Amino acid sequence: MEAADVARVLRQHHFRMTRERRALLDLFIEADTLLTPAQLHAFAQARDVDVGLTTVYRLLEVLTKAGLASPFLLEGSIYYTFCTDHHHHHFICLNCRHVENIYGCSATVEPPPGCTVSYHRVDLFGRCARCRSDVNVTTP
Ligand SMILES: [Zn+2]
Ligand SMILES: [Zn+2]
Ligand SMILES: [Zn+2]
């Protein structure tokens, strides 16, 4: 999904697009790591994208409602990552918060008898290849 398409979806959800907000969206899409709203805000400030923390929260809320962001609860904080509109799962590195999408669904968990499933989430948490090799370097 192109950033322009995402902007269109946001407008449909009454999120007013400005140049700064569009820049914020681009930063979030490019991040590839889990970010808290405060971290995304700080990241934007560092790139001279002048938006308030309220706008960051609003963007993440609207994206999540539209299925274009996923929230994760880690160590008591809520982190977000941008998501495409194709069904996928996530690998999350617990060390550097890097996110990789996993396509190809192999979920085989059956619901309890009499229940129907509307959607599912399956996410894997661990150490990414780069963090694992960092460990190997420092291990005597
Ligand atoms: Zn995703
Ligand atoms: Zn990592
Ligand atoms: Zn799946």
Residues near ligand 3 ion, CB 5 Å cutoff: 105, 107
For tokens 């619901």, name the residue. Answer: 111
Rg, the chain, Cα only: 17
Length of the chain: 140
- Distance (angstroms) between ligand 1 centre and the Cα of 126 equals 16
Q: Return per-residue pLDDT of the chain as tens, 140 residues.
A: 788 889 999 999 999 999 999 999 999 999 989 999 999 999 999 999 999 999 999 999 999 999 899 999 999 999 999 998 789 999 999 999 999 999 988 777 899 999 999 989 899 999 999 999 876 655 55
CA–centroid distance, residue 78 to ligand 2 (Å): 18
Domains of the chain, by residue range, sit at 3-82, 89-138
Q: At what angle do helices 19-31 and 37-46 cross, to 10 degrees?
A: 110
Fold that domain 89-138 belongs to in CATH: Dna Ligase; domain 1 (3.30.1490)
Whether CATH 3.90.1170.50 fits 3-82: no
Please give the distance, rounded to the nearest whole angstrom, from the Cα atom of residue 13 to the centre of ligand 2: 34
CATH topology match: 3-82 vs 89-138 = no
Which pTM was predicted?
0.85
Cα 55 to ligand 3 centroid, rounded to whole Å: 31
Whether 97 contacts 79, CB under 8 Å: yes
